[in-house]
Structure 1
Amino acid sequence: MQPRIAGMQRVYTEPDPFEPFAISQAVAVGGWLFVSGQAALDQEGAVVGQGDFRQQAECAFASLERVLKAGGSGLEDVVKVTLFLTDMRHLPEVVELRRRFFRPPYPADSIVEVNALALPDLMFEIEAIAVIGAGAGKSTS
């Protein structure tokens, strides 16, 4: 018999654009927060910034921040991200956005170019793992 991990909870914002797809925006287990891929979607699930990579990436980072907050965390607690881009030529913009939204020590990171994301007009997605409270000692320099 496998031991059960006590306290696994669904984390979500209202309204939850992921609910129709049977996906949790995030799951909290103990002090860990596992955030599903966040993309440029408004609260009703419609794509924001069609054709505008920067606007889509900023929207996805803002969505990530909202979900982290709903889970009792924040960007300062993120220890790992995976970024999905439909065009790796946007990598310099991604680096700028990482510097804007994260502080040293920066989270571990994987960046993957993909042919497509869940919706055809999406160009960027970010998923994250956070440890609640881990960022309390992060440098602000």
Structure 2
Amino acid sequence: MTTAPEAVRVRTDPDPYEQYLISQAIRVGDLVYLSGQAAVDSHGNIVGAGDFDAQAAQVFANLKAVLEAAGSSMDRIVKVTIYLTDMANFGRIMELRAQHFSKPYPADTIVEVKALALPEFKIEIEAIGLVGGTIRDT
């Protein structure tokens, strides 16, 4: 009989999502499922209000921190969903993807949304990362 994998909450210290009753990530077996990462610092303060590049830098820093807390890393991401409040930033997000992701690139969905959790947010990224195993190009 096989046992189901254990689900474990992943968090950084301090945990800026605690105030919103959200887990930063949940690890299930060799996969870690990250909540949408937004432009907040480790104390929950908004970073870069009105500045897409500043927000994107914070979002990618948050992804990295949560992945590392789970025992993973940016090069272990298998899937991302990127939410933008303005698709005019699509070209910039493509440049940032090239800076932060490497081959084999993660599966990706980019969508424009009317709004995110807070009106100041311009970008949010959720991800699924691999903790064990290998990622290879075919």
| Count of residue pairs brought into register by the alignment | 136
Partner of 1:17: 16
Partner of 2:71: 72
Q: By how many angstroms is 1:23 displaced?
A: 0.8
Partner of 1:5: 4
Residues 77 and 134 of structure 1 are in contact (CA less than 8 Å); yes or no, is this contact kept in structure 2?
no
Residues 28 and 34 of structure 1 are in contact (CA less than 8 Å); yes or no, is this contact kept in structure 2?
yes
Q: By how many angstroms is 1:5 displaced?
A: 2.9
Relative to structure 1, the CA distance from residue 134 to residue 126 in structure 2 (aligned partners, 3 Å threshold; closer, same or farther) is farther
CA–CA separation in structure 1 for the residues paired with 2:3 and 2:44: 33
Partner of 2:86: 87
Relative to structure 1, the CA distance from residue 97 to residue 10 in structure 2 (aligned partners, 3 Å threshold; closer, same or farther) is same
CA–CA separation in structure 1 for the residues paired with 2:82 and 2:3: 31
Relative to structure 1, the CA distance from residue 100 to residue 134 in structure 2 (aligned partners, 3 Å threshold; closer, same or farther) is farther
**Uncovered stretches (5+) of structure 1, i.e. residues with no partner:** none
Residues 104 and 136 of structure 2 are in contact (CA less than 8 Å); yes or no, is this contact kept in structure 1?
no
RMSD of the alignment, in Å? 1.6
Q: By how many angstroms is 1:133 displaced?
A: 3.5
Q: What SS does the aligned partner of 1:81 have?
A: strand
Relative to the length of structure 1, the TM-score reads: 0.91
Amino-acid identity (%)? 49
**Uncovered stretches (5+) of structure 2, i.e. residues with no partner:** none
Partner of 1:55: 54
Residues 5 and 29 of structure 1 are in contact (CA less than 8 Å); yes or no, is this contact kept in structure 2?
no
Relative to structure 1, the CA distance from residue 135 to residue 98 in structure 2 (aligned partners, 3 Å threshold; closer, same or farther) is farther
CA–CA separation in structure 1 for the residues paired with 2:134 and 2:98: 15
Partner of 1:27: 26
CA–CA separation in structure 2 for the residues paired with 1:4 and 1:119: 40
Partner of 1:125: 124
Q: 1:124 corresponds to which letter in structure 2? A: I
Relative to structure 1, the CA distance from residue 131 to residue 58 in structure 2 (aligned partners, 3 Å threshold; closer, same or farther) is same
Q: What SS does the aligned partner of 2:35 have?
A: strand
